[in-house]
Amino acid sequence: LAQARIPGAFHAPLSDLAGAALPEAEKVVFFCASGNRTTVYADALANLAGDRDAYVMDGGIFGWFQAGLPVERG
């Protein structure tokens, strides 16, 4: 699952996110592999989201996959 993505999701490594232009959306959901890093950086990520509602996905991409939700590989 190291290279797994949620279909339709905007992908940017956490280390590059500060310089990334987030897509236009009313809500932003941040996630990493397990949810730990995004939880640690939740306040900083909320600041990046600006006026949008911002969320951190519990369990990250691993939790998404374990719930049987679709992923793309590569």
The Cα–Cα gap between 71 and 3 comes to 10
pLDDT digits (tens, 9 = 90+) for 3-61: 888 998 888 888 888 888 888 888 999 999 999 999 999 999 999 999 999 999 999 99
Angle at 33 (CA atoms; ends 19, 49), nearest 5 degrees: 35
Q: Out of 32, 45, 54, 56, which one is annotated catalytic? A: 32
Phi first, then psi: give them for residue 70, nearest 5 degrees: -70, 145
32 is known as an active-site residue: yes
User: pTM of the entire structure?
Assistant: 0.84
